[in-house]
Structure 1
Amino acid sequence: MRICVIGTGYVGLVAGTCFAESGNNVICVDVDEAKIEGLRNGVIPIYEPGLKELVHRNSAEGRLSFTTDLAAAVKESLISFIAVGTPPGEDGSADLKHVLGVAREIGRHMEGFKIIVDKSTVPVGTADKVRQAVQGELDRRGVSLEFDVVSNPEFLKEGAAIDDFMKPDRVVIGADNVRTAEIMKELYSPFMRKTNRLIVMDIRSAEMTKYAANAMLATRISFMNQIANLCELMNADVSAVREGIGSDSRIGYDFLFPGVGYGGSCFPKDVKALIKTAEECGYDFLLLKSVEQVNERQKRLLPEKILGYFGNNGASRPLAGKTIAVWGLSFKPRTDDMREAPSIVIIERLLELGATVRAHDPEAVREARKFFGDRITYSSSNQYDILAEADALAIITEWNEYRNPDFERIRALLRQPVIFDGRNLYKPARMQEIGFEYFSLGRTPTGSVEK
């Protein structure tokens, strides 16, 4: 099939590349000329394992191309995927100006039957607005052309997006036309060879499905973070609790790891948008409001543990003269995404308290500079470089290289052997054996937080 994907951000670039990998002719469109020129030259604007190789192969074989000419791409394609950003507004609602702007552009340039697919995460009712935007442009042109609007939400996990797309848990298609639903089934059939998990439903239900799924996962994370905090107060071990409740087949183990809060491009934005959607319907979504409040509070927990350890002397900058080494900046491992990353809140708080911060991350340093500039020191090459003469190590993101480090080297480099672990990577008993003061989440610390 001939496809265009409008928007070469995370969702658009992965989707377009994977469609090309399955044999389709795909044109990826973006207004950013520098990004398009870079993609033509093999420069991938995001870090996602396996993406670079797929882009290079499909570009070389002529199935994948990049352009800023939306009009030409729409004219050449049967299916146009809208994969542009829907950033949250000040009130938490999803900003649809980019989605509707693309819809109007499609209406201005289409010349025959088109299937227009909302791939961006959009609120319930967006397909109706897209349809109105396209039809409005056709009316202005004085032409009558047939088109269908489809909702096809993405369920990609950053760091595993290629596998998620090529071997999906499920594909949700929201369509009100049987013919169009069959075309979408054909498009996705190469990804359904082992297990057919393509679910066709009405458009509004498809739009709601994405928000409901992300809100459920965000709820699990915030719930487990609160359980971890309670475990710490009650001298229980959240790791044992997780094993106990995860073994219940009704619950399972996924998204039950305590940590410093969720971040990224989906959960924070989608929780806010669903709360706003509920408000517009006159419904007070108390549970999701609490989920959001718990998450924001959780991001502030680690710096307060650090402050408690070194002592709050009542000064305006009580950590002045202290250097904190940070491992991990991205909101999760295997991505360079810093959107809503807990590290932003944690590091800003440490700086506010007067600490000097040095940070290591394998991939997110470039993105982190956009938030912190030259206020902190960075490393992306050697995780031990930032430890020399630091007063403590704080772990924020659970990159694999942090899971089994050289503890003897860490102890030799730090001024004192103290670690604040926001991801529970190590066992407290082991850390005590090798001489570390170790503070994690929901487990008994190996040292007192009062100095």
Structure 2
Amino acid sequence: MKLSIIGSGYVGTTIAACFAELGHDVVNVDIDEDIVAALNDGRSPIHEPGLDELVAEHAGDRLRATTDYEEILDTDATFLALPTPATDDGSIDLGAVKAASTSLGETLAAKDDYHLVVTKSTVVPTTTEEVVGPRIAAASGKTVGEEFDIAMNPEFQREGTAVEDFLAPDKIVLGAHTDRAYDLLDDIFAPLVERADEPPVVKTGIREAEMIKYANNAFLAAKISLANDLANICKEFGVDSAEVLDAIGLDSRIGSAFLGAGLGWGGSCFPKDTAAIIAAARGRGYEPRLLQAAVDVNDGQPERMLDLLRERFDPEGKRVAVLGLSFKPGTDDIRGSRSIPLVEALLDAGADVVGYDPVATENMRELFPDIDYADSAAAALVDADAALVATDWDEFAALDEQFDEMREPVVIDGRRIVTRRDGIDYESLV
């Protein structure tokens, strides 16, 4: 089939390359000429394992990019993969979605045959029906449900494993209102269903599909925060939290996934999505107390880590290495990274901060241009008074004699990956 993807960020680039891998002809539409040039040159504009290879393999053949919306006219369906960043009150900014919907509608005015528009962006319930559809209809002069359809297909791709998550999904959620829309979605995803050994396909309404995405992430975020809350209690009693959480994870009703207690969750999804659904619920007059508690626990973990450091010395004038700047290993994304509040608090305390990350240094440099950055973990530790482990990159687990280069080998481990040994004042956050 011929598909168009509007937006080429983490989601848009990944689904474009993966749809091409499934055999579809895909055109990425983006306003950024540099991104368009990179994709057409076979280079991924983002760091994501496995994506470079797919883009390089399919660019110039089943995958191409353009700034011209007119290219959409030759496609059967368009996926909206646009950013929906959080505003100050936690609600989502639909500016990009609105602008793209209007531009898409203006383009579809010249299309004679049926077209399907699929929201891939994470949006609160009613957005596709009350924002996307009406804007396309107004700009195109066409009728929703007749000359074009709207649908929702939420993404469940984790940064660092996005390609794998798309090509081997736990589930595929298709939200639509008409048989024609469902039939076209079935055709689009048929190669994936066959390839991925028949994953469950959930067919539901558009609002339900929108909500499934938020419910999915809110549940996982709350599970992590509950694990952290329990681990914090364990620490107060001198109990090994890892043994406790490993044991409860054996219960089939609980499961072991997302029980890794530590510094907390971040990224582009969990913080934004929990804030958005909390704001949306409050907008309808409901106070989501449990979700707010999950956010509060998460926000408190960096401060608990700094308290462990302050128990040893006042950070003012001390050199502190922050190991790990991305929000998780396998990505250069620093959005929502737990290292950000750590660095902010250390600077406020007058510490001399040096940061290191295998791939996220340049992104963090844009946020904190005046701190030092090392080109290796070992270099970051030289003459440091303390090291705070913020991201669980594998290379940090391999550190050993490098800690001997510190002035005062104080190691506060926010991810419980460093091996405790003699000669290091080591403490795990949980």
Category of TM-score, reference length = shorter chain: over 0.9
Alignment of 1:10-409 (within 5 A): 10-60=10-60, 62-70=61-69, 72-110=70-108, 111=111, 112-128=113-129, 129-139=131-141, 146-193=147-194, 194-311=197-314, 319-373=315-369, 375-380=370-375, 382-405=376-399, 407-409=400-402
**For structure 1, which runs of at least 5 residues remain unmatched after alignment?**
312-318, 443-451
Alpha-carbon distance in 2 for matches of 1:304, 1:44: 41
Alpha-carbon distance in 2 for matches of 1:74, 1:343: 41
Q: Could you tell me whether the CA contact under 8 Å between 1:173 and 1:198 is conserved in 2?
A: yes
Q: CA shift at 1:279, angstroms?
A: 1.1
Alpha-carbon distance in 2 for matches of 1:79, 1:143: 14
Which residue in 1 is equivalent to 2:423? 435
Q: Could you tell me whether the CA contact under 8 Å between 1:333 and 1:397 is conserved in 2?
A: yes
Please give the secondary structure, in 2, of the residue aligned with 1:199.
strand
Alpha-carbon distance in 2 for matches of 1:369, 1:113: 47
Q: Which amino acid is the alignment partner of residue 441 of structure 1?
A: L
Q: CA shift at 1:143, angstroms?
A: 12
Q: Which amino acid is the alignment partner of residue 11 of structure 1?
A: V
Once structures 1 and 2 are overlaid, which stretch shifts more, 153-162 or 141-150? 141-150
Q: CA shift at 1:303, angstroms?
A: 2.0
Once the two structures are superposed, what CA deviation does each residue of 1:19-77 show, in whole Å capped at 9, x if it has no partner?
Answer: 011111100111111221232233422110111111011014x110011112x122111
Q: CA shift at 1:96, angstroms?
A: 1.2
Please give the secondary structure, in 2, of the residue aligned with 1:300.
helix
Alpha-carbon distance in 1 for matches of 2:67, 2:307: 47
Once the two structures are superposed, what CA deviation does each residue of 1:266-306 show, in whole Å capped at 9, x if it has no partner?
Answer: 00111011111111211111111111111111122222221
Q: CA shift at 1:144, angstroms?
A: 11
Distance change in 2, residues 1:142/1:211 (3 Å): closer
Q: Could you tell me whether the CA contact under 8 Å between 1:174 and 1:203 is conserved in 2?
A: yes
Once structures 1 and 2 are overlaid, which stretch shifts more, 3-12 or 320-329? 320-329
Q: CA shift at 1:263, angstroms?
A: 0.6
| TM norm structure 1 | 0.91
Q: Could you tell me whether the CA contact under 8 Å between 2:304 and 2:429 is conserved in 1?
A: no
Q: Which amino acid is the alignment partner of residue 176 of structure 2?
A: A
Q: Could you tell me whether the CA contact under 8 Å between 1:418 and 1:436 is conserved in 2?
A: yes
Q: Could you tell me whether the CA contact under 8 Å between 1:11 and 1:83 is conserved in 2?
A: yes
| TM norm structure 2 | 0.95
Q: CA shift at 1:378, angstroms?
A: 1.4
Alpha-carbon distance in 1 for matches of 2:282, 2:56: 45
Aligned length in residues: 424
Q: Could you tell me whether the CA contact under 8 Å between 1:138 and 1:145 is conserved in 2?
A: no
Alpha-carbon distance in 2 for matches of 1:197, 1:399: 32
Q: Could you tell me whether the CA contact under 8 Å between 2:170 and 2:199 is conserved in 1?
A: no
Alpha-carbon distance in 2 for matches of 1:302, 1:26: 46
Please give the secondary structure, in 1, of the residue aligned with 2:311.
helix
Q: Which amino acid is the alignment partner of residue 304 of structure 2?
A: L
Q: CA shift at 1:354, angstroms?
A: 1.0
Once the two structures are superposed, what CA deviation does each residue of 1:154-203 show, in whole Å capped at 9, x if it has no partner?
Answer: 00011001110111111100011112212212211222221232111111
Which residue in 2 is equivalent to 1:315? none
Which residue in 2 is equivalent to 1:316? none
Q: CA shift at 1:145, angstroms?
A: 6.7
Alpha-carbon distance in 2 for matches of 1:166, 1:56: 17
**For structure 2, which runs of at least 5 residues remain unmatched after alignment?**
none
RMSD, aligned α-carbons: 1.6
Please give the secondary structure, in 1, of the residue aligned with 2:377.
coil
Once the two structures are superposed, what CA deviation does each residue of 1:331-388 show, in whole Å capped at 9, x if it has no partner?
Answer: 0000000111111100111111111111111110111111101x211134x2211111
Alpha-carbon distance in 1 for matches of 2:294, 2:350: 30
Alpha-carbon distance in 2 for matches of 1:88, 1:196: 32
Please give the secondary structure, in 2, of the residue aligned with 1:66.
strand
Alpha-carbon distance in 2 for matches of 1:297, 1:82: 35
Q: CA shift at 1:417, angstroms?
A: 2.2
Alpha-carbon distance in 2 for matches of 1:15, 1:25: 12
Q: Could you tell me whether the CA contact under 8 Å between 1:185 and 1:198 is conserved in 2?
A: no
Alpha-carbon distance in 2 for matches of 1:310, 1:229: 22
**Percent identity, aligned pairs only?**
40
Once the two structures are superposed, what CA deviation does each residue of 1:222-264 show, in whole Å capped at 9, x if it has no partner?
Answer: 1111111111111111001111110110001111111112111
